[in-house]
Amino acid sequence: MQDHEPTCPRCKTNAYVRLKDRAGEYTCKKCATVVQRGIISEDAEWREFKDSDRRGGDPNRVGQKEDEGAILSTRVGRTDIGMNLSTRGVYSTEERKAERLLRANVEIRDLARKLHLKQRHAQFVIEMYKRVFDVREATDVKEGNEVKMRKDFNGPSVEALIGACFYWAAKKTQVARSIKDISAKLTNITHRELKTAIKRILKHKHYVLGPMKVEFKVTQPSQIVKRKAHQLKLSDNIGHEAAKIAEAVMLTGCMEGKPPDTIAGACLLIALEGHEGVKINSELLQAAFDAKRKTLEGRAREIKASGISDYRAALKILASKPKKKK
């Protein structure tokens, strides 16, 4: 047995890693990852307490002392009748399924944080993946559409299916994330694998997405930038110009899949270029939009390349927007 607990590959620490003696495996209590299997316990199988043990060192014994030259024997018999499987370190199918689903949920919440999505979006993805998971793990499917779904969902990896669920969940809640952005956060799959999984979810969208109801409203970049400009003590005129630029950006779709906060920050930088006397501290800007200034400047360059170079250009695009009929 090891002297120290192994490090969890997900949490990057062994502070939460504990040994399950009966199962013979190291498990992380924080993220439920099984770090290492097949551990042999060196603890005593039983203990004997005699008068001589009190005067000795460690009274632990592994087995009974055998005479030299004696033939070792093993007693064979059904001595575990009536014992629960879990008490013998053997997990049932349902327990293993629950463990796999728990690991997937941990991965979903981790990916939501990397994609700058809120926990309510992660919960939406958890519900979607649960439906996919139920089909993948089903054993009594014999015919019909469920057979096709099980075949389609068993093809891609778990990580690819989670990424695909994020793609459709973000798109349905109007905070779309591009395939490129999602695949960049998933290290164990290729761009092609993610696209395949997205197509499989689309093929069965009525089952995966049909019963889901989105009960939260998405904050638009134009609303974010107005609020942040006020927090940064900028004039209402600058906030108004930045909001119009953000509206034009969303209308053209040139920043589809990008986090709303970074779009709002980039639009504010473009609006500030028309006010030469106004400057803003980089640290305050980064804190307000939760992104580095270089990232916001990069987004601003992309917006300008799409034809929205300033406030006037944004107004022209908004003016060309067809008016809704009453």
Judge whether 267 and 221 are in contact, CB under 8 Å.
Answer: yes
The DSSP line for 155-207 is: SS-HHHHHHHHHHHHHHHTT----HHHHHHH-SSS-HHHHHHHHHHHHHTHHH
φ, ψ at 137 (rounded to 5°): -90, -5
Shortest CA distance to 283 belongs to which of 292, 270, 296? 292
Judge whether 261 and 289 are in contact, CB under 8 Å.
Answer: yes
pLDDT value of position 83: 43
Angstrom distance (rounded) from CA 286 to CA 288: 6
pLDDT value of position 59: 52
Residue 128: burial class (beta carbons within 10 Å; 0-12, 13-18, 19+)? buried
The strand ranges marked E within the chain are: 17-20, 25-28, 34-36, 46-47, 60-61
pLDDT one-digit tens code per residue, 76-110: 444 444 444 444 455 677 788 888 888 999 999 99
The tokens describing 282, both together, are 């980089």
What is the enclosing helix (H) or strand (E) of 148? helix 145-154
The tokens describing 312, both together, are 């006037």
61-67-69-70 Cα dihedral, nearest 10 degrees: -90
pLDDT value of position 96: 84
pLDDT value of position 56: 52
Angstrom distance (rounded) from CA 147 to CA 138: 10
Query: How many contiguous H segments (helices) and E segments (strands) does the chain have?
Result: 14, 5
Judge whether 66 and 45 are in contact, CB under 8 Å.
Answer: no
Exposed e or buried b per residue across 9-25, where buried means at least 16 C-beta atoms within 10 angstroms of its C-beta? ebbeeeebbebeeebeb
- Per-residue pLDDT for the chain (326 aa), expressed as one digit of tens each? 455 778 888 888 888 888 876 667 888 877 777 887 766 555 555 555 555 545 555 555 445 555 555 454 455 444 444 444 444 455 677 788 888 888 999 999 999 888 888 888 888 889 889 888 888 887 776 666 778 888 888 888 889 999 999 988 888 877 778 888 888 888 888 888 999 999 888 888 888 877 665 544 556 888 889 988 988 889 999 999 999 999 999 888 888 767 888 899 999 999 999 898 888 888 888 888 878 889 899 999 999 999 999 999 999 999 987 655 54
225-227-230-234 Cα dihedral, nearest 10 degrees: 0
Q: Which amino acid is at 243?
A: A
Judge whether 269 and 301 are in contact, CB under 8 Å.
Answer: no
Angstrom distance (rounded) from CA 235 to CA 285: 15
Residue 251: burial class (beta carbons within 10 Å; 0-12, 13-18, 19+)? middle
pLDDT value of position 136: 84
Judge whether 125 and 108 are in contact, CB under 8 Å.
Answer: yes
Angstrom distance (rounded) from CA 137 to CA 326: 50
Judge whether 32 and 106 are in contact, CB under 8 Å.
Answer: yes
